[in-house]
Amino acid sequence: MENRLHPALRRLAPFPRDEAFEKLRQRVRALLENGEASRWELLRAEWLYDVALLTNDFRLWMQHLDKGFGTANKTALSPGSGMAQLIERSPR
């Protein structure tokens, strides 16, 4: 099965260097180094960090989609494209 992702989406993106992300990362690191931290505490900290990264990736993906949405509509409705011809032939 071929990879259908746009080449720009396949390249590795750096982790966000936001203060909130950094605090979450430091919290996970501190809990890993602390031998007395409970597993649930560590699991919760890792979960919060992972969710923050995933929502940031989702935000970047939505920005990518939004950026291409306007050009995709113009291309689909350009003269000579199948969609433009279909619209012209449709009964009104």
Q: What is the pTM of this model?
A: 0.51
Name residues whose C-beta falls within 8 Å of residue 54's C-beta, 6 or more positions apart in sequence: none
pLDDT category, 15, cuts 50, 70, 90? low
The pLDDT of residue 92 is above 60 = no
Q: What is the pLDDT of residue 48?
A: 92
Asked if residue 3 is part of any domain, the answer here is: no
Q: What is the 3-state secondary structure (H, E, C) of 62-92?
A: HHHHHHHHHHHHHHHCCCCCHHHHHHHHCCC
Q: What is the pLDDT of residue 44?
A: 93
Asked if residue 73 is part of any domain, the answer here is: yes
Would you say the C-alpha torsion 60, 61, 62, 64 has a positive or negative sign?
A: positive
Asked if residue 2 is part of any domain, the answer here is: no
Asked if residue 44 is part of any domain, the answer here is: yes
How many domains does one find in the chain? 1
What domain range is 30 assigned to? 16-89
For 18-61, what is each residue's pLDDT tens digit?
A: 788 889 999 999 998 988 888 999 999 999 999 888 888 888 88
Asked if residue 40 is part of any domain, the answer here is: yes
